[in-house]
Amino acid sequence: MASDTQGLQTAEVIIDEEPMHRSREKITIASGQGAIVVGQVLELSGTEYIKVNTAGNAARVAVEAVDATSAAKECVALRRECAVRQVNLDYNSKVEATVNTALEALGIAVRTGPTQTTL
């Protein structure tokens, strides 16, 4: 039997958010960013978002997977008043503590704790 590997789901990243999804917004991922996964930490570059490149510039957390390899793509991301699971964030090899400080300044609380496991 073939196996099916799935990436993270939105509920595996978000611990808590504002009612009616007010913590989220639709953003545009810049062309050439490749695969954006759920939990990818993003920063603003001009008018579009890219994978976090400068830890202190962290600005959003993707909650939708998109492929922006050859064209800019719209994506839903967390922007304020929410809590996320640190273990499920993709920091793009940047210093986690610095990224977390930048996210906390925006109202995105990064929490450690229980994680969801797969069978």
Q: Is the pLDDT of residue 6 over 90?
A: no
Q: Assess if residue 47 is contained within a domain.
A: yes
Residue with tokens 């978002």: 49
Banded pLDDT at 119 (limits 50, 70, 90): very low
Structure tokens, 65: 């997977």
Helical ranges in the chain per DSSP H: 10-13, 96-106
Q: Assess if residue 70 is contained within a domain.
A: yes
For the chain, the residue count is 119
Banded pLDDT at 66 (limits 50, 70, 90): very high
Q: Assess if residue 103 is contained within a domain.
A: yes
Supply the CATH number for residue 90's domain. 2.40.300.10
Q: Is the dihedral of CA 76, 61, 85, 83 positive or negative?
A: negative
Residue-number span of the structural domain to which 73 is assigned:
14-111
Residue 13 and residue 61 in contact, taking contact as beta carbons nearer than 8 Å: yes
Backbone angles phi, psi at 88, to 5 degrees: -105, 10
Q: Taking the model in full, what pTM does it have? A: 0.89
pLDDT digits (tens, 9 = 90+) for 21-65: 999 999 999 999 999 999 999 999 999 999 999 999 999 999 999
SS3 content of the chain, % helix, strand, coil (to 5): 20, 40, 40
Please report how many Cα atoms fall inside a 13 Å half-sphere around the Cα of residue 24, on the Cβ side: 17
Domains: count for the chain: 1
